[in-house]
Amino acid sequence: MIRAIVLNTNDNVGTLVDAAKKDDKVSLTGELNETVTLVENIEFGHKLAIRTIDHGGKIIKYGKVIGQAVKAIKIGEHVHTHNVDALRARGDKKESL
Amino acid sequence: MKNTFWGFERQHGAVGTRNLIAVVSVMDNCNPVTHAIASAVQGTVYLPGSYIRGQLGRDREITLKVTAGLCLNPNIAGVVVIGLEPRTTLELVNLLAPSGKPVEFIDIQMTGGTINSIAAGTRVAALMVKDASRQRRREFSIDKLIVGLECGGSDTTSGLASNPAIGVVSDKVIAEGGTSIITETSEFFGAEHIFADRAIDPNVRESFLNEVNLLEKEIIALGIDLRGSNPTPDNIRGGLTTIEEKALGAMAKSGNSDLVGVLGYGDHPSRNGLHFMSGPAPAVESITGLAAGGCQICIFSTGVGNPIGHPVSTVIKVSGNRNTIKAFSDNVDFDVSSIIEQNESISSAGNRLFEYMLSVANGELTSSEVLGTCESAISRFGPSM
């Protein structure tokens, strides 16, 4: 069984605690009890989307905002630096404070 | 039942969990002599000097204060100070004098150069180690412990397993009257509002938020994107995407206790309970600040693997990543991967880690102590002139 931990019922990402491949079914554990099918390979410890996330939508983990989607993200997609931006300590974007 | 540990009583009621002699440089140009002495005498630790010469103002004050703080840590029984010239050496010696610890000093200019200074320093260090070795451990309650809370080489398992387990230990130490210190200011970006709500009064809350806000403003004023350095490349490889995600996981090391005080880099707490220390995130500088603040032990969680310890404060490496525990086993002291792999509760893993920490306090050696993978470095806060 390939597992992903979800820490809060409001989270839209889960953390994979097993390495997983495209089309694998992932069992969500922790605060949710659902199954998600991966649309791409994802490494151990990395996050998958468990809800559809719009471009500009907030990424929620621990029930808190951990960043913002820079493109639309589908359920089962890898959620990482390629599609998420940090919102804090961005001196390159002066308006961030 | 109250827990206890066996330690070495120092002056003014402090208690060490180790019985070491520090050989410390006043400034960086003394390091070769200091290193040679510490290498020659078993039972000593080498504390390299960081600059001093050419430093000025607040930056120089902090370096001197933190150097003194490392020597004043209760794990240190006596100090051999190696300086270049008497005036600066005395500045450090005067900071150590009130502790009542045995302190000897040697100035390389006054002692006739490198070889004579190494010989003289080796003799005094050897005598100090012999003297210190006569002291026996006695039983003390947990209120004598100051525990540093650190993470390095973090990944997503840090926030799921090792950091929350450390949080359980911190809460247990505090429940028995002890003290813990969390640091790494930038690793509160995105979690500071939650942590601030645990402050015992508005002053503590304000001074904590002030430290975080000042640092973020400084980064923004420099036009820097923090993503260039934090999360680090290995954090990102381990699945951490943003500083906010890292911060929410890192904060779990502090458990649920009230925040009772805010400390400057390397400052010693003036009361017991959970403290925040302002300081940088990289492990060596960070643990050096915690050691100078009086932490006898630092509990250090690692996800993808960080091997470093500190010569003064004993570092316990904890991991919840089963791959790291296998591949990096020489450097991991405590395995909490059962939280993820076998559904062990956080509190059960935390209780096991607490028992292990007491054993380390009593003298069980950790990986970084046995392998000597220890380093000490004091942060800079200004330019040299």
Six token digits for residue A47: 């996050």
CB contact under 8 A, B241 and A94: no
Residue A62 gets the label, from left (phi > 0), alpha (psi -120 to 50) or beta, of left
> Which residue is it, tokens 């504390």?
B47
Which residue among A66, A80, A91 places its CB closest to the CB of B219? A91
Nearest alpha-carbon partner for B163 in B291, B50, B251: B251
pLDDT of residue A96: 45
What digits encode the pLDDT tens for the residues B267-318?
999 999 999 999 999 999 999 999 999 999 999 999 999 999 999 999 999 9
Partners of residue B68 on adjacent β-strands: none
Q: Kindly tell me the burial class for residue B40, based on how many C-beta atoms sit within 10 Å of its own C-beta (0-12, 13-18, 19 or more).
A: middle
- The residues, ordered by sequence, that sit 6+ positions from B115 with a Cβ below 8 Å of its Cβ are none
What digits encode the pLDDT tens for the residues B312-329?
999 999 999 999 999 999
Top-level CATH class of A2-96? mainly beta
Asked if the model's pLDDT at residue B87 lies above 80, the reply is yes
What digits encode the pLDDT tens for the residues B175-184?
999 999 999 9
Q: What is the ipTM of this complex?
A: 0.94
Q: What is the DSSP letter of B125?
A: H
Six token digits for residue B194: 């939650």
Q: Does B211 touch chain A (CB under 8 A)?
A: no
Give me the residue spans of the domains in chain A: 2-96
Mean pLDDT for B176-203 is 96
Q: Does B236 touch chain A (CB under 8 A)?
A: yes
Average model confidence (pLDDT) across chain B: 96
Partners of residue A16 on adjacent β-strands: A4
Min Cα–Cα distance to chain A from B377, Å:
25
- Residues on chain A touching B220 (C-beta within 8 angstroms): 89-91, 94, 96-97
Residue B385: pLDDT band (50, 70, 90) is confident
Which residue among B243, B248, B249 places its CB closest to the CB of A89? B243
Question: Scanning every residue of chain B, which has its alpha carbon at the shortest distance from the alpha carbon of A83?
Answer: B241
Counting other chains too, the contacts that B215-220 makes at CB distance below 8 Å and 24 or more residues apart are: B215/B185, B215/B186, B216/A88, B216/A89, B216/A97, B216/B189, B217/A97, B219/A89, B219/A91, B219/B186, B220/A89, B220/A90, B220/A91, B220/A94, B220/A96, B220/A97
Asked if the model's pLDDT at residue A97 lies above 60, the reply is no
Min Cα–Cα distance to chain B from A40, Å:
15
Q: Number of Cβ pairs closer than 8 Å across A and B?
A: 107
CB B358 within 8 A of CB B1: no
Mutation target among B162, B216, B245, B326 for the A interface, most CBs of A within 10 A = B245
- The residues, ordered by sequence, that sit 6+ positions from A13 with a Cβ below 8 Å of its Cβ are A47, A48, A49, A50, A59, A60, A61, A79
pLDDT of residue B50: 84
CB B4 within 8 A of CB B18: no
What digits encode the pLDDT tens for the residues B26-50?
999 999 999 999 999 999 999 999 8
pLDDT of residue A94: 56
Asked if the model's pLDDT at residue B1 lies above 80, the reply is no
Which residue among B155, B190, B216 places its CB closest to the CB of A66? B190
Determine the residue type at B159.
G
> Which residue is it, tokens 């649309």?
A39
Percent of chain A with pLDDT over 90: 84
Crossing angle of helices B346-361 and B163-175, in 10° steps, is 60
The pTM of this model reads: 0.95
N- to C-terminal Cα separation, chain B: 56
Mutation target among A66, A77, A84 for the B interface, most CBs of B within 10 A = A66
Partners of residue A71 on adjacent β-strands: none
Top-level CATH class of B20-132? alpha beta
